[in-house]
Copies of this chain bind each other. A is one copy, B any other.
Amino acid sequence: MVKFNSNYGNLKESYLFFNIAKKTKAYLEEHPGTHLYRMGIGDVSLPLAKAVIDRLHEAVEDQSRKETFHGYMPETGDPDLREDIREYYSRRGVNLDTGEVFVSSGASDELGDILDLFDRDNTVLIMEPAYPAYVDANVIAGHRIVHLPSGEEDGFAPMPDEKTDADIIYLCSPNNPTGAVFSCEKLKAWVDYAIRHKSLIIFDAAYEAFIEEDLPHSIYEIEGAKSCAIEISSLSKTAGFTGTRCGYTVIPKGITSGDLELNAMWVRNRTTKTNGVSYIIQKGARAVFTEEGQKQIRENIAVYKQNAKVLMKAFDELGIWYCGGKNAPYIWIRCPEGMGSWEFFDRMLNELQIVGTPGEGFGKCGEGYFRFSTFGDPEDTKEAAKRIKKYFS
């Protein structure tokens, strides 16, 4: 008799986005034709950079002619793209071997698949508020989960607690949903903890391109990290690839346990369980790493950063506490007037026609907070900021 993975029975239903959709739909049914200011979604809104579009068209043309047609790609990624990514790291002083860089379909895909490398018998530390899939993927994998709450007192970037024994540690910096960024000192504390406890850090760097202050983009900027950390990143937010799908993962060589070496295990995993990322998409992704591509994606990011400025200015003027925004595409505010997350959501929707994301959906310690995305339309963002300012003054 086939036995299903009973861990699925331990998954909690996530009502966050479902409830947002339900409430929004109900509002629109009562107020047909109303324009909503959507500051909730973590999806980008600007088109792909021209350099990427040109390369994608070229790649499609390649697939149309026998002489240039590409079949199976290397499972670990196009060697040229892996090299581009290696150079991208090298430009900020992180030296990797090309064999330590893997091309993926994106960070969300990889954050789940990577758990294949680990035994079921592991305790996973997840800092909260957190991207809900961290928890769910680890529930499916049958791991024990320790939740580490964070708050205003640590700027939503908590320090390790020596008493907590975690085998695998999730770190997301810049953080989704809070936009908090770990400083070098804080990251060093986590790397030291991981080395002492022989634990492994899974570093989610999907928002690194939004950092503008002198803060670490990569965990490998921290000494010792190559012995205890995997880094997962993506072009989704960096270059608007949310619907185009391409990312990358770094697994340093030499992380071992007994006879097993993590990098070699992942090579074996990929060659067994995938035939790689689409030739077309990988060729498009290469354009992101050219001088022209970098210039163009920076222009798009600047639009989102301008949205962040508009919102931050409003919150500053209203004296509303927030973090994020400066080095991240998310702004995490303390709901004014002591409101709960969902109470604030309802108020924003019903009174101001603004849709955001209640912080409570990212973990208990997110209650009383609210996430604004800066990926929306600039005109909508300006109008939303104006409405918030007027309403709460």
**B-binding residues in A (CB < 8 A):** 1-6, 8-9, 11, 43-48, 50, 53, 56-57, 60-61, 63-66, 69-73, 105-106, 108-109, 111-113, 116-122, 133, 136-137, 140, 167-168, 197-200, 236, 240, 242-245, 257-260, 262, 265, 268-269, 272-281
Set of chain B residues within 8 Å of A2, measured between Cβ atoms: 118, 122, 167-168, 198-200, 257
Contact B137 A260 (CB under 8 A): no
Chain B neighbourhood of A50, CB < 8 A: 64
Instruction: Please give the distance in Å from A260's CB to the nearest CB on chain B.
Output: 5
Q: How many copies does the complex hold?
A: 2
**Chain B residue contacts of A137, Cβ below 8 A:** 272-273
With A and B bound together, what is the CA distance between A278 and B11 in angstroms?
A: 27
Identify which of B113, B236, B275, B281 contacts A108 (C-beta below 8 A): B275
> Separation in Å of the A27 CB from the closest CB of chain B?
22
A280 and B56 contact, CB distance less than 8 A: yes
Residues of B within 8 A of A108 (CB): 273-275
| Contact in complex: A4, B262 (CB < 8 Å) | yes
Give complex CA distance A118, B2 in Å. Answer: 8
* CB nearest neighbor in B for A274: B109
Please name 5 pairs of A and B residues whose Cβ atoms are closer than 8 Å in the assembled complex, sorted by A: A105-B105, A108-B275, A109-B273, A136-B272, A243-B278
Give Cα A116 to B262, complex, Å. Answer: 20
A112 contacts B273, C-beta separation under 8 Å: yes
The docked-state distance in angstroms from the alpha carbon of A193 to that of B294 is 58
In angstroms, Cα B118 to Cα A279, docked, is 31
**CB of A47, distance to nearest CB on chain B (Å):** 4
**A266 CB, min distance to chain B CBs, angstroms:** 10
